[in-house]
Structure 1
Amino acid sequence: MHGNSPKSLRQDLLKQRKEFASGDGYAVAQASLIAGLHHFLANQGKSIHAIALYWPIQDEIDLRPALLNWVKNNAQRCLALPYARPDKHLNFYEWQEGDALIPSAHGIPEPNPENTARSQLIPDCILIPCVGWSSSIANNKKHYWRLGYGGGYFDRTLAQIRKDNPNLICMGIGFDWQQLDDSQWAAQTHDEPLDLLLTESGLLS
């Protein structure tokens, strides 16, 4: 169905996402997923100070309006965007609506690390878009895994941040249909697990 390599699998999934985004069911799925995010923010969001989001590309769901609304309700809250370092790690810098951004090597808008008005920070929660996702069970605990774009940025970054902030919440953002079984893809030893996964069906933990 998806070919024999992670690369061809990603290509197929991205093609499917493009088709899904132009179809009749996308608006309903998007609304359901964002409603799930609002529910998370209204509950667990009370103890969170800084959320790192993503700048949506290639038909990813745009979570910025919901998160900006979350920030407006409390002056102690802030948002952050990732900056891709040359060593394929991410730094996170505070982001406010209207900030001037610069294109990354992959063409994704990102914060300018030389902007002294926006500090670097370690987020309490990171929202990460999924190209695909899977689940596994180990020691009677369910784990969720993310198939991304293949650069490894998030895996390297999460491994480091979890040492500095053991309470970090890492939430994958995806759709139900993106779920993969073992015959299609299995997480590798270097892959970092997700703490939560949010789809249109709700929050999976």
Structure 2
Amino acid sequence: MVDMHGNSPKTLRQDLLKQRKEFASGSGFASTKTSLIAGLNHFLANEDRTIRSIALYWPIQDEIDLRPTLLRWMRSDAQRRLALPYARPDKHLDFYEWQEGDALIPSAHGVPEPSPENTARPQLIPDCILIPCVGWSSSVVSGKAHYWRLGYGGGYFDRTLAQLRKNNPNLICMGIGFDWQKLDDSQWAAQTHDEPLDMLLTESGLLS
């Protein structure tokens, strides 16, 4: 458990990112990554018939790299598609098809992203979105568990998910995180504008 009582969200993010950097350079990181990717493969195998397109993320700041796993998933079926997010000036995300080797452009935050001008890679609405967590929390509402993501503070995913869920009620939004990133109410609580995750994947397995 992260001991950060009373910190502001900004300070909390900085502390969590520092801790993630230390964790990623530690001896246990490789086995943690292996366990998490095994959980992702299990999910993909079980959802084989319902998911045809997945939006992933380009890993930054010691996030787990899921690209090799997802490229293998895509290449095993000609109908499958991968997509990467493009950050619009209005702080919403659009998703464009991505294939290995595509030329990408740096976003305003320095994250490689697809170019909307690339006519060979159309925009798509994904069936599933994988979102990295800086931290996460859970709550129980009417007997059902809900999972919440602490991100980088830009609000892009919350705005985007609210709209996408109207367009695609079957959208699966999965947070990617680690067990130790879990926060309690004294550290951080989701706000009214925060969109819940449908699932959360850590090295311990899939929480839904």
> TM-score band (shorter)?
over 0.9
- CA distance, structure 2, for counterparts of residue 83 and residue 116 of structure 1: 14
Identity %: 82
Q: Which residue of 1 aligns with 2:79?
A: 76
Unaligned runs of 5+ in 2: none
Distance 1:116 1:73 in 2: 24
* Residue number in structure 2 paired with 1:176: 179
What residue ranges of structure 1 are gaps of 5+ in the alignment?
none
Q: Which runs of structure 1 show a deviation greater than 4 angstroms over 4 or more consecutive aligned residues?
A: none
TM-score normalized by the length of structure 1? 0.99
TM-score normalised by L of structure 2: 0.97
Distance 1:188 1:52 in 2: 25
For the pair 1:39 / 2:76, whether they are aligned, the reply is no
Match of 1:188 among 187, 191, 195: 191
Task: Kindly provide the amino acid, as one letter, of the partner of residue 104 in structure 2.
Answer: L
Instruction: Choose from 29, 41, 60 the match for 1:26.
Output: 29
Matches within 5 A, 1:89-104: 89-104=92-107
Work out the CA distance in 2 between the residues paired with 1:46 and 1:66. 18
The CA distance in 2 between the partners of 1:116 and 1:76, in whole Å, is 19
1:160 lines up with 2:163 in the alignment: yes
Give how far 1:195 is off.
Answer: 0.2
Shift of 1:14: 0.1
Partner Cα separation in structure 2 for residue 191 and residue 44 of structure 1:
26
Determine if the alignment matches structure 1 residue 116 to structure 2 residue 119.
yes
* Aligned length in residues: 205
The residue type equivalent to 1:4 in the other structure is N
- Structure 2 counterpart of 1:133: 136
The C-alpha deviation readout for 1:27-63, integer Å capped at 9, x for no partner, is 0100000000010111113310110000000000000
Which amino acid is the alignment partner of residue 137 of structure 2?
Answer: S
